[in-house]
Amino acid sequence: MKKPFLKAILSTLLILIVLFLALSGALLYFGKTGMVWGISRQALREFHFCVAIAMCLLAAVHLVLNFRLYTTGLKALARRGKRSEE
């Protein structure tokens, strides 16, 4: 599998996971009692937690795949910070 294709899939999954976490978090926060869309709060809470763990793992893989880009950006920020100090 080509690296750009893998990065595209990974980024798409991360976007979908963030959207799901935002929605399920809002449902858990604002739906204080009973069932939420026919799902028990406990099941929603457990699923929310599992998806959060998956997001952490995917974010780690994303960082590994984009590590060179990340370090290049950090170096550019460091150079810019030195320039503004002068």
The pLDDT score that the predictor gives to residue 83 is 67
CA distance 36 to 17: 19
In a domain, 5, yes or no: no
In a domain, 4, yes or no: no
| Residue stretches of the chain with pLDDT short of 50 | none
The tally of domains found in the chain comes to 1
In a domain, 2, yes or no: no
56: amino acid identity, one letter:
C
pTM score, whole prediction: 0.71
In a domain, 72, yes or no: yes
The end-to-end CA distance of the chain, in Å, is: 47
In a domain, 32, yes or no: yes
CA distance 50 to 9: 20
Q: Which domain holds residue 56?
A: 11-85
In a domain, 1, yes or no: no
3-state secondary structure the chain: CCHHHHHHHHHHHHHHHHHHHHHHHHHHHHCCCCCECCECHHHHHHHHHHHHHHHHHHHHHHHHHCHHHHHHHHHHHHHHHHHHHC
In a domain, 25, yes or no: yes
Question: Two tokens at 68?
Answer: 């060179």
